[in-house]
Amino acid sequence: MDDIHAEHPAHGNPRSTAKIGGHPIHPMLVPFPIVCFAGAFATDIAFMASGEPAWAKASTWLLGVGVGMALLAATAGLIDFFGDPLVRGHSDAVKHMIANTSAVALAAANFVLRLGNPDFIGSTGIYLSGTVVLILFYSGWKGGELVFRHGVGVLDKHFR
């Protein structure tokens, strides 16, 4: 039995290699950037509707925290992706990774471009925030496919 199959019994599920106590880390971290990026879009809308500077400040903070948490989630996701060839074997994993990378890059650019410039929200920032949320819908769908269709990180019956 080669190394790949030693950890994966016949028809075994792809394993999460970034885990704590057997629990995958990536799905524990992803809610934070998702909420931050969706919250940034919501506070952008509130800023546009009210003109209240506190909403612009909240958006900037949400983007900054979201990018930081996304980098942590991405680190765990990359460990999973490169740690198990069965994960890399799914095109959904590549699509999920590309979508998330795109979303985080847009959010990071949005964050940098609006620092000290709340007017950026009305010209381009709100559109970037909305685009990030749309990309996250797609990425979340692909992440769900990895777990619910392909069993990534799901324990086999043998291990229950």
pLDDT, tens only, 61-117 = 999 999 999 999 999 989 988 887 877 777 888 898 999 999 999 999 999 999 989
Model's pTM, two decimal places? 0.85
Q: Domain boundaries in the chain?
A: 26-150
Q: Do 133 and 37 meet the contact criterion of CB atoms below 8 Å apart?
A: yes
The two beta strands, 19-20 and 23-24, are antiparallel
- Residue 15, pLDDT above cutoff 80: no
d(CA 78, CA 73): 9
pLDDT confidence of 19, banded at 50, 70, 90? Answer: confident
The mean pLDDT of 45-52, rounded to a whole number, is 96
Per-residue three-class SS string for 50-119:
HCCHHHHHHHHHHHHHHHHHHHHHHHHHHHHHHHCHHHHCCHHHHHHHHHHHHHHHHHHHHHHHHCCCCH
155 or 94, greater pLDDT = 94
Instruction: Give CA separation, 111 vs 7, 33, 60, in Å.
Output: 42, 13, 6
pLDDT of residue 6: 43
